[in-house]
A and B are shown apart, each in its own frame.
Chain A
Amino acid sequence: MTARLSARQDYRGVALVAPATVPYVRYSEHGAPWFIGKALSAMLQQAGVDKSEIDGLSVSSFSLAPDTPASMAEYFALEPRWLEHVPMGGASGVIAMRRAARAIQCGDAEVVACIAGDTNRRGAFKDLVANFSSFSRDAVYPYGAAGPNAVFAMITDKYMREYGARREDFGRICIAQRENAMRFPHALLREPLTMEQYLGARPIAEPLHLYDCVMPCAGGEGFLVMSTDKAQALNLPFAVISAAIERHNAFRADDVQLRGGWEKDRGTLYGDASKGPDDMDFLQTYDDYPVIVMLQLEGLGFCPQGEAAKFVRETSLTCDEGGLPHNTSGGQLSVGQAGSGGGFLGMVEALRQLTGQSLGSQVQGARTGLVSGYGMVNYDRGLCTAAAILEAGQA
């Protein structure tokens, strides 16, 4: 018994269904519950499941306070027997999925709705970044009030000096994602982006320029987690979890964050899935800034440490050129960053790709994909990292 409990369990029998997006808007006068409820409504409709069947609820939101996931149960007349709060920003999608999958396997819930929703009132972003954590409020914000731009400017500056990456290399990531976004109906930024425009953009927090920075917006994302038996009974296309990892505050002795927790756990990730980076039909990374995409390409073993710039020079990142389809909906850099919805964007898009429900470019024959998360800049680096390998389920 003890041995069994201490061994890492796989995620067998768990299905991910009904990927839903509440269309993003730059600003909204709605509250966070509007986006959470709209996501839930879209998920239920897509799955053909009645609201009364939702007995598990996981909520991620930065703009819900003073309300909580419990508030959402009352707000939407739900009676969950399992309730979770995943306040881990860009890592929320993968981590909500991990938690919910265990609840399904253990019988603590039958249908879990995992939802991220955030509103964005005019002027609200300033308050969010000013009070994101006590360390950032007291020890970062007083130095020019740049919010996360300041932290990621530092990481980008160090990365460029350490590994010789150039602005053009970051530009390649942004431009490929824009190309993907041009076919994705929910993307807020769908105008073509050229290298000339990218390089000529106004500086924000040097070395970061306009197109390196995500645009804060409002929106919602969600998916349902249930047993594969139930998904099959409902005749729903589904994806399954081959492996999943998370790690927080990895490599804390590094002076500047040039690697994240992925490097610590990728052996587990690929080992559990019996797959490697070359087996991935697509990659969805957390792209609050392109340098963080590079950290994930390296940390997840798509290229050696420090060689992501070379990798993006040599590899197509769009959907249809036989390279590595990456952030196939356009990612946050083109779709927008809907608060913690940004942490769900890659997960929801991966589920669409694997269930043949893409709203934009469909990666042909996508059977296996990797979703990566990164979040929570508490002081000078993002603390939360997570990743999952997902596969198309057998209907």
Chain B
Amino acid sequence: MSAVSAALWEPMRAAARDGVLMLQHCESCGRVQYPPRELCRDCLYEGLQWRPVDGLGTVLAVSVLQVTNDARFRSRLPWPIATVKLDCDAILFVNLAGRDVRGGARVRVAAGVDAEDGVVLEAVEAKGRS
């Protein structure tokens, strides 16, 4: 991670250490965006506020990784991951709790940090369909 990225991600990382998922909200147009940017993707405004979100969303697609490019991850294979579209419109790559979650499933995404203090998101199937 570059120095610029580290600064950009710091508020999200600080919240993730406490298990809180925060995303950037544009103060001008209301867009919620991810990955974090220095300006709003839509209106290019620089006033972006980090606010907690409930993490509820829908699985777009899933994959079970059987191969990794990084030795650090090898012992965790096979590794289910997914893309999730949160109800607030942001699309996230996440680790998936469980191998039987399919596209279309309702999930809740939680934030934490990994051994290197990087943000890690995990989706768990939400109880009771909305």
Give the interface of A toward B (CB within 8 A): 125-126, 129-130, 134-135, 137-147, 149-150, 153-155, 157-158, 161, 202-208, 255-256, 379-380
Contact = CB atoms under 8 A, between A and B. Distances in A.
A205 B35 contact: no
A146 B61 contact: no
B88 interface: no
B103 A130 contact: no
A9 B121 CA distance: 49
A140 B79 CA distance: 14
Contacts of A379: 35
Contacts of A161: 61, 102-104
B68 A155 contact: no
Contacts of B34: 139
Contact of B95 (A129, A134, A143): A143
24 contacts: A126-B70, A130-B69, A139-B34, A139-B92, A139-B93, A143-B81, A143-B120, A144-B65, A144-B68, A146-B65, A146-B68, A149-B65, A150-B93, A153-B63, A154-B82, A161-B102, A202-B66, A203-B64, A203-B66, A205-B63, A255-B91, A379-B35, A380-B83, A380-B93
Contacts of B60: 154, 158, 255-256
Interface in B66-100: 66-70, 72-73, 76, 79, 81-83, 85, 91-95
A311 B32 CA distance: 39
Q: How large is the interface on B (under 10, 10 to 19, 20 to 34, 35 or more residues)?
A: 35 or more
Contacts of B5: 134, 137-138
Contacts of B79: 144
Given A150-B81, A207-B63, A126 B95 contact: no
Contact of A158 (B9, B72, B103): B103
Contacts of A206: 63-66
A142 B35 contact: no
Given A130-B70, A150-B81, A138 B35 contact: yes
Nearest to B34: A139
A161 B64 CA distance: 16
Interface in B9-51: 9, 34-35
B121 to A, nearest CB: 8
Nearest to B63: A153
Contacts of B76: 144
Given A143-B81, A150-B93, A255-B85, A204 B67 contact: yes
Closest 9 A/B residue pairs (Cβ): A153-B63, A145-B70, A154-B61, A139-B35, A157-B61, A206-B64, A158-B61, A144-B65, A126-B69
A205 B68 CA distance: 9
A126 B74 CA distance: 14
A290 to B, nearest CB: 16
B63 A154 contact: yes
Contacts of A142: 114, 118-120
A157 B62 contact: yes
